Amino acid sequence: MLVLRLLNVVAPAYFLCISLVTFVLQIFLFIPSMFRDPSTTPLFSPALLHGALFLFLSANALGNYVLVIQSSPEDLGKGLNLGKGAEVVADWLDGSRSPGSALPSTHFCRLCARVTQRHDHHCFFTGNCIGSRNMRNFIMFCLYTSLACLDSLVAGMAYISAALSMSFANPLAFLTLLPHSISQFFSGALLSSEMFVILMLYLWLGIGLACAGFCCHQMLLILRGQTRYQVRKGMVVRARPWRENLQEVFGKRWLLGLLIPVLNVGSDYRRQKEK
């Protein structure tokens, strides 16, 4: 449990550090290198469009990241109008009630001391549990993080291609880039900044693929009306049309939440909270 609590603190700090490094590299290294002559650059140049795209992806990823962690047991008990549920939450927190006596479709996490409706899993990178309240924001966070990493990967490869005068037309060039760069770095033929960018390329690739795969897996569970916690525990879920399952998570006005980071717009949680 001590290791998990430590990981719950280190993982968010690690994510924020990677985000800061990515932002600095994009704004101060990749994007400026795209401008050959800033005085003659047209308004809708590829460099400006790339910068606007990166800022849009980063703002959505960071905004949904913040919204994911904005959840507390007290707010959950009051917002869902659970009646005696707020007392149960208090009993859980002070230890007078065992976690096994859970409310229907809720789960108490000892790691973050939160009660989550339709609990899916505990995310160490957000330090928070994922449930009905923040599921849509979590999926949007994974989606935009994956896209931001892909954007940074492409920009980084363009920078390395220009700096080292190499081509990535051959797919094997990227696979052999790291071992070849390590040998050049220790022989003094490669700068530290260029070596750092090359390492970040593989990190962006790994994070982007992981977030994309996790997002696709999560969408598959949502279409089935299931959560990872229910699958792991072998719980039986009432069969419903996939459109209803999507609407429960994303709401009717899903397009607004796709473009800007907002709370669950039009979802069942918001309607229950307004009652």
Active site residues: 123
Q: Which residues contact 2 (CB under 8 A, 6 or more apart)?
A: none
Number of separate helices (H) and strands (E) present in the chain = 13, 4
Give, as one character, the DSSP assignment of residue 36. Answer: S
E strand intervals along the chain: 106-109, 114-117, 121-123, 128-130
Q: Which two tokens stand for residue 235?
A: 């719980």
Q: Tell which residue, 83, 65, 192, has the closest CA to residue 134.
A: 65
Q: Which residues contact 193 (CB under 8 A, 6 or more apart)?
A: 29
DSSP, collapsed to helix, strand or coil, labels residue 219 as helix
Max Cα distance, the chain (Å): 70
- β-pair partners for 115: 108
Alpha carbon distance 194, 157 (integer Å): 11
- β-pair partners for 114: 109
Q: Which two tokens stand for residue 8?
A: 């719950």
- Contact between 65 and 37 under an 8 Å Cβ cutoff? The reply is no
Q: Tell which residue, 229, 273, 205, 47, has the closest CA to residue 135.
A: 229
